[in-house]
Amino acid sequence: MNTESTVQLLLASDDVALNSTFDVVKIDRSSILMGENTAVIHTNQIPGELFLSTKSSKRPLYLVLDNGSRRTIYVLVLADDQSLLYIAGGAVAVNNGKTLFEQCVDIQQSKRIPLSNHDAYFTKYHQDTEIEYKLNIHTEQSIWQLAQMIYIHGNKGTYPDFILQHHDQFNQWDFDNYLYEVTAPQSERGYISFITCPNDEYVVKQKIYQNDALERIEKRTKNVRIKTSMEDYLHEHYPNLSFSRREPFRRRRYDVNLESLNTGNIYSVMFDHSYLLNDRAYTLTQCEIEYLKSRTVLPLQTVTEELEKVYAVTKDLLRSAGISIEETYYSKLSFLNDYCK
């Protein structure tokens, strides 16, 4: 994106339909994290009386980027005392017969529901498909330290055109997993697992695949309560499937989430350590690089291409740190099946 382009911040009344007056603040382009889909402004770029102040009823609704004869209009979707997050609503010709403010309002109103409601702008490429690379880690190393290393690099721009996901940079998980392999029919092979959650509830996750691979069908059911047994639940909800129970295991995991400025695609670099509940000596340590979702109202694009870039940078960082890694699609089911051999 041309860093010499003009950037304007438009402040307008909360009800844009009733008030066409607005203020314009010029923003130094070099001070903004900006891509084709996403832009982040630090609040210190905005005069104090115009944001987090009771002196003005106007809010910084639009960020406008002029580049030649085209104008991209970004709409505010998240704000806190540190930064403001905008996503592109669309582009128009600079000279299309309408005022700048009318162009902004038209773009926002054309996508009002996803742009004006919290989290409504999230979408996903192939809704029930998981796309992830895996790395088996053979070096004895704290997964906390590895996750912190990726976080630091994500924060300083080592992943080109990515930022740490706004408001959701880092997650931690620690749960038990009760897994049942689906042995028949062939078309439904894979597994169904019960993941422990607070309040005596489970997430029930079904993965359907014939072989360990980059893409697998994944379906989730949340807030599940088991009335009698897991086996009874399976027979009730999956009457046409045959199952074979595997050893339960515990999984600890740290996620570093990265957001593309150019597409809004969000990826996670996850470090997890798993071991059997009845045999702590049998372990698996992995790094998973997965596409999660997209924060955009524009057509989805380059999902797998960007995933490959995140994967490549992550491998380089781990190898540079002296970590022994094995490129694989090795699943938790394969891990459990190998224990039975």
Q: Is the predicted pLDDT of residue 16 greater than 60, yes or no?
A: no
Looking at the fold, whether 283 and 158 belong to one and the same domain comes out as: yes
Residues 171 and 106 in one domain: no
Note whether residue 1 is domain-resident.
no
Residue 195 pLDDT class (50, 70, 90 cuts)? very high
Tell me the pLDDT tens digit for each residue of 123-144: 999 999 999 999 999 999 999 9
Total domains, the chain: 2
Q: Do residue 142 and residue 247 come from a single domain?
A: yes
Do 114 and 156 have their domain in common?
Answer: no
Decide: 44 and 35 in contact? Cβ < 8 Å: no
Q: What's 224's domain CATH number? A: 2.40.320.10
Asked, for residue 188, whether it belongs to a domain, the answer is yes
Residues 148 and 291 grouped into a single domain? yes
Taking only the tens place, the pLDDT of each residue in 237-246 is 999 999 999 9
For the segment 47-101, what is each residue's pLDDT rounded down to a tens digit? 665 566 666 677 889 999 998 899 999 999 998 888 999 999 999 999 999 989 8
CA dihedral 313, 317, 320, 324 (to 10 degrees): -100
pLDDT band at 337 (very low <50, low <70, confident <90, very high): very high
Rg (CA), the chain: 24
**Confidence (pTM):** 0.94
Shared domain for 69 and 152, answered yes or no, is no
Final residue of a domain: which of 66, 100, 120? 120
Whether 215 is in a domain gets the answer: yes
Residues 26 and 170 in one domain: no
pLDDT above 70 (res 19): no
Do residues 98 and 225 both lie within one domain? Answer: no
Arithmetic mean of pLDDT over the chain:
92
Q: Which pLDDT value is given to residue 20?
A: 61
Task: Tell me the residue range of the domain where 46 lies.
Answer: 6-120
pLDDT value for 41: 92
Q: Is the pLDDT assigned to residue 223 strictly greater than 80?
A: yes
pLDDT tens digits along 260-272:
999 999 999 999 9
List pLDDT tens digits, range 38-47. 999 988 877 6
**Is 207 part of any domain?**
yes
Q: What percent of the chain has pLDDT over 90?
A: 80
Residues β-bridged to residue 290: 132, 268
Span 261-306, pLDDT tens digits: 999 999 999 999 999 999 999 999 999 999 999 999 999 999 999 9
CATH code, domain carrying 66 = 2.30.110
pLDDT at 3: 52
Specify the pLDDT at position 154: 98
**Residue 49 counted as domain residue:** yes
116/253 same-domain check: no
CA pair distance 138, 330, nearest whole angstrom: 13
| Cβ contact 208:190 at 8 Å | yes
**150 is a domain residue:** yes
| Same-domain check for residues 238 and 168 | yes
Judge whether 62 lies within some domain.
yes
Residue 280 maps to a domain: yes
Shared domain check, 263 and 147: yes
Domain boundary among 80, 96, 120: 120
- Based on the domain organization, do 52 and 110 belong to the same domain? yes
Element (H, E) at 163: strand 162-164
pLDDT for 14 beyond 90:
no
Lowest mean pLDDT among 115-119, 168-172, 227-231, 313-317: 115-119
Kindly state the average pLDDT of the residues 175-192.
98
Last residue of a domain, one of 90, 120, 150: 120
